[in-house]
Structure 1
Amino acid sequence: MFVRIDARNRGAVPGRLGRVVRGAVRGPRPESVPAWIARAGLLVGLLDVAAGVFPRFRHSRMHALAQVLPGTLGPYAAALALSCGVLLLLLAHGLRRRKRRAWRATVVLLPLGACAQFAYRHSLAGVVIPLALLWLLVRHRGEFDALPDPRSRWRALANLVVMGAGSLLLGLAIVSAHPDKLAGDPSLADRLAHVLYGLFGVDGPLDYTGRTSSTVAFSLGALGMLTALTTIYFALRPEHPAAGLTEDDEARLRALLERHGARDSLGHFALRRDKAVVFSPSGKAAVCYRVVSGVMLAGGDPVGDVEAWPGAIERFMDEARAHSWTPAVMGCSETGGEVWTRETGLDALELGDEAVVDVADFSLAGRPMRNVRQMVKRIERAGYETRVRRVRDLSPAELDRIRRAADAWRGTDTERGFSMALGRIGDSADGDCLIATAHKVPDADGGPQGPHGDLKAVLHFVPWGPDGVSLDLMRRDRAADPGMNELLIVTALQAAPRHGIARVSLNFAMFRSALARGEKIGAGPVLRAWRGLLVFLSRWFQIESLYKFNAKFRPRWEPRFVVYGSPRDLPRIGWAAMQAEGFITLPRPRRPGIHPCDARHPPHSPTLEA
């Protein structure tokens, strides 16, 4: 028995060693090649930048080559090494995302950088490493197949032309701004040649006295670097396709919601018209999404039959892989999170809780509802009346007045909402939506009513299956008495039975469980510290105020999750989600022919007034 164990052990070591050797010979797995090449590209880029910035090593064993190389080759090689290094650093992100353009540019830059390293620093390692990386790139070129943005090449070309022309004119002004330091009287052609050379980091034909030469050279080099950096950014930045539902897509989604819309309170928000959609092969399920900063964001659960969700999710992931987007889901339910993680291998993290009120259980009676009850009575005594109606029951003139008032009362300059907002009011296709309005009863003397007449507050709900609604937006006149939101929510809950509504989804409270547990007796120091941080952040993001506002109506809490691929993706997903929701707005030129998103405040993150 001992002999057999010993024999197995003796054979196991060479076996493991053989697998390691074979793995080293074969190289990394094809799917991991882009990440490895991106890291190697960063290394080579740093080496090239160092070659262009720092003086050559005089102790180099190959320094003897400097005696036979032309003396003017040094500055040219230094500029080339610096340029190649910076560009490789920029291209590393595109290589990691498997972009074909990044692959092509790197294949061109690597041999140029190797030549610059050889000519300037006479470094053997500076030649071998780039050429080895070039061999890997050529061998695994099939891994770099991510689809590019068809619009980016034109924006990159336009940027190159505009920035190049501006840099040329400004550079001409720079070289002509020191006539007393300029040797001779160079012609305009010589000045233009000096600017062109300087933009590429190379000395031109003009001669300056003193330190002016360095000043002009650094200024021109900075202009050239700025032109290159902005052009590379536009060429390699993530896609921002003009997402939009077609009429056929919207019709198919409405048919799915009619049959399966009762399952998810966020299902109707899939009808936002600034989203794209992928359907399952059977057409019985769909995933709606938007691409923001290279993140493919889906909102809520897939729409349609749960049994067909895997097919829609597979199409979603295929689309993400084809474009090298980062897949993510915001606000899915527990069932949705289980399906997403099972089908894709992604992870899920609890994001917060959705407040759902069962109409049959709601009442203003009792001590827990005393504050809400007193506030509602006070507002009613102040001379306000409320109305709750379906959108189809309102006249076009009144709908237009409500839309204009909601726009005027928006708390920010930027429209907000993505995963939990419909982005429109009063559309002819949304006749089942519910609108609750508060009106100021005119005084006996008929005093002025304001720019929107007697209308003082608006709540808009979208359908949630045949017997539910989900809160979309909350708006009120800033000059109206506080408590308008509470009044309209209570009114909508009391009027719900007349409209066949049995459940109402209210606001979404981020990190609700942490806030609730952190304020209880016996909470640990970590939980208390986490709650303290959330309270601090509530100064800007209304985290605690939304939780307390929701808790007034004694709802049941339904957890919502974010689905992500890797913890390192979470900051990027969070940044993209904040852009999608409208909390962060980056300057971007408006595309002609594309109707801007008419999103409102996030329905589950309304602006609350005291």
Structure 2
Amino acid sequence: MTSPAEPVIAEPDRRRRAWRSPAVWSMPAAVTLLFLLTGLLTGALVSGPSSELLEVVGLDFSTPYSRPWALLTSGFFAGNLVEYLVAAVLLFLGLCLATRFAGIWRTVLAFVVSAVLSAFLLSLLLEWGLNNDIGWFGYLAGDLQIGSFGGLCGALGMSTAAMDSLWRRRVRSWLLAVTIMFALYLGTGQTIIALVGTIVGIGLGALLLRRSTDHHLRHSSLRETRVLVSTGVAVFAVGPLLSQLSAGFAIGPLSLANQLMLQSIPDKQTLSDICGSDPACITLQDTVGISSPGAVLLTLIPVLLLLVCADGLRRGRRLSWWITLGVQSYVLAFTVFMLLIFYGSSLTDFSSENLGVLFAYIVPTLLAPALILAVLWSTKAAFGVRSSAAGRRALARTAFGLAASLLVVYALAWFAEDNLANSSIEDLLTQLPHLLIPFPLPFDIFLPQGLVSTLLYNFGAAAIWAVILYLLVRDYRRFGGLSKDQAADARQAGLLIRRGGGSLSHMALWEGNHFWFTPDGQAGVAYQVHHGVALTVAEPFGDPRWIGDAARGFVSHCIELGLVPCFYSAPAELGTALAELGFHPLEVAEETRLDVTAQTFKGKEWQNVRTALNKARKLEITDHWGSFSSFSPALRAQIAQLSEEWVAEKALPQLGFTLGGLDELKDESVVCCLAVDETGAVLAVTSWLPVYAKGEIVSWTLDFMRRHPDSFNGVMEFMIACAVKRFQNSVDSISLSGSPLAGTANPEAGEEPQDGMERLLSSLAAALEPFYGFRSLAAFKSRFQPSYRTLYMYYQDSLALPSIALAVSEAYLPGLSGRQRTQMLRQLISR
């Protein structure tokens, strides 16, 4: 019978086959080649089209109706060789993506229509702007425009209609964010054409690729709100830097924002005026002061701060919300102050020219931070993930301590270098805020003259904020929303596991796991948090009727905490409930299950097991069963010694997560089996975890396995055979568990990983194989003629796969030292 998860599991294969189709590459390659050949044959490839050629093929916004063919031909030229190469790469990749989702003819149609329509609509917009004396449009009129970005963005925008809802919203958000940023901060003709082309393309997608309904809920509105707000903050963070780097030709409405957000580096004349033409001052400031290359660090701090806050907003962090609110409030207040000072006189002149400048540049500069503030206030409820108490204390102590230390050290250096002889105490007081605020200040500052005070003045704030940014990023890994009473949660989880669970559910009760329960308490999920990923310990447990609801509720819980949900070592049955949330499966292990009813170990395939049983009988080795606490102190000491010797033989520490150790062996509900010889020596030990359904034990799962190095060959076969005999009168089947990572592709066996995540896990499995032998363990279990059940990892967002890979590695290898990480990395590289 086909399992419900199989159609979902086959979906990645279908996507990979689609990418490999020649049709995806042929048309984009042809268009890109035509673009380059046109430049080569017309002599425009190196230095752009000549003035005569530009007059024919270039788009003239002032007379768009006189040469209508230019609406299309302008898209097949660029300004120089670098622009040709960049445009060719973007054309090929963008058209491949569009063709992959929308097909060839739709992509070509969208490319042509978007290129023509975006240029035409911009011409109409410019005509309106010129008639109404809008200053920005006056700079654009008269320039001959060339470039292919209108058609490219249109094709991409159109193809988003064929993507699933997660990627449709994501690609549209990114595409709109990038084109809006370039249009607002650069404001050149091609940037506006790209923005208009994006909008036209999205509209074409609605016509060409209509879908009746969106069948799958991919993300909650909470996550979408966070993503949209963080995207907006990131755009307005990078935009000022973009306009500063392109100050020579940036004419967008927000092209002045860099002067209001970023520290400016003065030119030689300005530096000479600041220093009063003093050669010593000029040399000092040019070497280590405000005109030195190192001053770029201070310019980047506001951008980095807002980008870190944008990442925090994406995670739902309340601290990032407060910092962004404070920054934007400061920027708005500073903007108002500077505009009143520098533009106060012109604002009283209501001539058409000044009004055009007012509406084109001043009003947008004011509206940008005001708009962000309004959005932040209206979406405050979406950012409720608070830092842990330890994280808040560490951040506050470090920030306050560094700030106070810098102020004190700077003041001492300022006096020691006799700055008071050239300035006053008032100058010192105006310099102190500059040490702590990386944004421009609305008043003139007298620069220090000594070497030490100059270094502190220019690099002190950058150093402090670099440390604060590091603490903010580290704080994202700490959460204050987890349960404060882990013991009570563990007791509740234990009761639910007895009502129902899978073969690995008992592992949920191990130390280090957190728990989430459905509101009615009918089911729960155990999970660990690593690198912002909530990694579950197998499937949900509890009342089987509520398992699907528990999975969906846990996803919502993770989104509220800003975590990435990932179900690890879960069965295929869970795929049905998760498929409607957009989760994708990836095989991570093969669970081996033994039918123990009436098992007699007869037949040729059981020869190894019969040999092991006979050898144990001759050596007078017997199996002893019981809980760890029921054994004598001497036996418990031997078990501990076996475990320590086994761990000591490994180059890496004992694994965790779904692999138990000596501590997990001491659980009273866990049954242990010892192989003891006639002298009382323990030769091997195994542990078995109970599996419940409706309060009754319905199966057992193998966990702990250790053998003495001097024990006879086949001792572990003897242990499994003893377990089969013991359990066959009480349960129908037992599980030998799943070998971690053994279900991934094995390159040595000629198996090729199918996608990026499987490659990562296969590499991890290959690196750990010499140390732990996962695949050797899987081969050993296959001797018992088991049936197999595939265990999957279910993930929702493919962009989170690197974080998930790190989370899986850290879950299995907690507390890995630097030396051990280096050793594992060497092994990984050698393979």
Asked if 1:551 is matched to 2:743, the reply is no
Q: Following superposition of structure 1 onto structure 2, how do residues 248-397 of structure 1 map, counting pairs within 5 Å?
A: 248-260=488-500, 264-342=502-580, 344-360=581-597, 366-369=603-606, 385-391=621-627, 393-395=630-632
- Other structure's SS at 2:673 match: strand
2: CA distance, partners of 1:405 / 1:189: 74
The superposition leaves residues 329-374 of structure 1 with CA deviations (integer Å, 9 ceiling, x where unpaired) of: 11112223323445x5544333331111222476665554556666
Question: How many Å apart are 1:91 and its aligned residue?
Answer: 0.5
Partner residue in 2 for 1:144: 383
1: CA distance, partners of 2:467 / 2:446: 19
1: CA distance, partners of 2:801 / 2:746: 24
1: CA distance, partners of 2:760 / 2:476: 40
Amino acid at match of 1:92: A
Partner residue in 1 for 2:684: 457
1: CA distance, partners of 2:368 / 2:303: 13
| Contact 2:312–2:476 (CA under 8 A) maintained in structure 1 | yes
Asked if 1:41 is matched to 2:41, the reply is no
| Contact 2:665–2:704 (CA under 8 A) maintained in structure 1 | no
Check 1:133–1:190 CA distance in 2 against 1; reply closer, same or farther (3 A cut). Answer: closer
Asked if 1:399 is matched to 2:668, the reply is no
Bigger drift between 113-122 and 574-583 goes to 113-122
Partner residue in 1 for 2:813: 582
2: CA distance, partners of 1:516 / 1:82: 45
- Other structure's SS at 2:621 match: strand
Q: Following superposition of structure 1 onto structure 2, how do residues 149-228 of structure 1 map, counting pairs within 5 Å?
A: 149-164=388-403, 198=435, 206-208=448-450, 220-228=460-468
1: CA distance, partners of 2:404 / 2:817: 26
Partner residue in 2 for 1:229: 469
> Root-mean-square deviation (CA), in Å?
5.4
Partner residue in 1 for 2:726: 496
Bigger drift between 365-374 and 36-45 goes to 365-374
| Contact 1:379–1:481 (CA under 8 A) maintained in structure 2 | no
Question: How many Å apart are 1:142 and its aligned residue?
Answer: 3.7
| Contact 1:99–1:145 (CA under 8 A) maintained in structure 2 | yes
Bigger drift between 93-102 and 198-207 goes to 198-207
2: CA distance, partners of 1:259 / 1:533: 33
2: CA distance, partners of 1:90 / 1:40: 13
Amino acid at match of 1:545: S
1: CA distance, partners of 2:327 / 2:543: 51
Partner residue in 1 for 2:738: 508
Paired residues in the alignment total: 537
Asked if 1:93 is matched to 2:311, the reply is yes
Question: Quick one: which of 115, 134, 147 aligns to 2:373?
Answer: 134
| Contact 1:156–1:234 (CA under 8 A) maintained in structure 2 | no
Question: How many Å apart are 1:88 and its aligned residue?
Answer: 0.1
| Contact 2:234–2:306 (CA under 8 A) maintained in structure 1 | yes
Return 5+ residue gaps in structure 1 as ranges.
Answer: 1-15, 21-28, 443-452, 588-610
Amino acid at match of 1:275: N
Check 1:166–1:461 CA distance in 2 against 1; reply closer, same or farther (3 A cut). Answer: farther
- Other structure's SS at 1:297 match: strand
Amino acid at match of 1:506: L
Q: Which has the higher helix share?
A: 2
| Contact 1:384–1:440 (CA under 8 A) maintained in structure 2 | yes
Check 1:498–1:519 CA distance in 2 against 1; reply closer, same or farther (3 A cut). Answer: closer
The superposition leaves residues 354-408 of structure 1 with CA deviations (integer Å, 9 ceiling, x where unpaired) of: 1112224766655545566667877888x68353312064235633552454245
The superposition leaves residues 550-598 of structure 1 with CA deviations (integer Å, 9 ceiling, x where unpaired) of: 32332211111222222222322232232222256489xxxxxxxxxxx
Asked if 1:470 is matched to 2:701, the reply is yes
Q: Following superposition of structure 1 onto structure 2, how do residues 19-34 of structure 1 map, counting pairs within 5 Å?
A: 32-34=224-226
Check 1:489–1:130 CA distance in 2 against 1; reply closer, same or farther (3 A cut). Answer: farther
Q: Following superposition of structure 1 onto structure 2, how do residues 560-599 of structure 1 map, counting pairs within 5 Å?
A: 560-582=791-813, 585=816
Partner residue in 1 for 2:301: 83
Check 1:518–1:467 CA distance in 2 against 1; reply closer, same or farther (3 A cut). Answer: same
| Contact 2:476–2:532 (CA under 8 A) maintained in structure 1 | no
Check 1:517–1:408 CA distance in 2 against 1; reply closer, same or farther (3 A cut). Answer: closer
2: CA distance, partners of 1:81 / 1:215: 15
| Contact 2:623–2:719 (CA under 8 A) maintained in structure 1 | no
| Contact 1:159–1:230 (CA under 8 A) maintained in structure 2 | no
2: CA distance, partners of 1:379 / 1:205: 87
| Contact 1:98–1:144 (CA under 8 A) maintained in structure 2 | yes
2: CA distance, partners of 1:204 / 1:474: 73
Question: How many Å apart are 1:470 and its aligned residue?
Answer: 0.8
Bigger drift between 143-152 and 86-95 goes to 143-152
1: CA distance, partners of 2:527 / 2:702: 20
TM-score (norm 1): 0.69
Amino acid at match of 2:534: M
2: CA distance, partners of 1:156 / 1:303: 38
1: CA distance, partners of 2:533 / 2:779: 32
Check 1:551–1:241 CA distance in 2 against 1; reply closer, same or farther (3 A cut). Answer: farther
The superposition leaves residues 114-134 of structure 1 with CA deviations (integer Å, 9 ceiling, x where unpaired) of: 677896999867655444333
| Contact 1:388–1:492 (CA under 8 A) maintained in structure 2 | no
Who wins on radius of gyration, i.e. which is larger? 2
Question: How many Å apart are 1:191 and its aligned residue?
Answer: 11
2: CA distance, partners of 1:148 / 1:532: 30
Amino acid at match of 1:395: S
Amino acid at match of 1:436: C
The superposition leaves residues 272-330 of structure 1 with CA deviations (integer Å, 9 ceiling, x where unpaired) of: 24333333344332222233333223222222221132443454344323322222211
- Other structure's SS at 1:424 match: helix
| Contact 1:436–1:458 (CA under 8 A) maintained in structure 2 | yes
- Other structure's SS at 2:566 match: strand
Check 1:249–1:149 CA distance in 2 against 1; reply closer, same or farther (3 A cut). Answer: closer
Question: Quick one: which of 88, 108, 116 aligns to 2:326?
Answer: 108
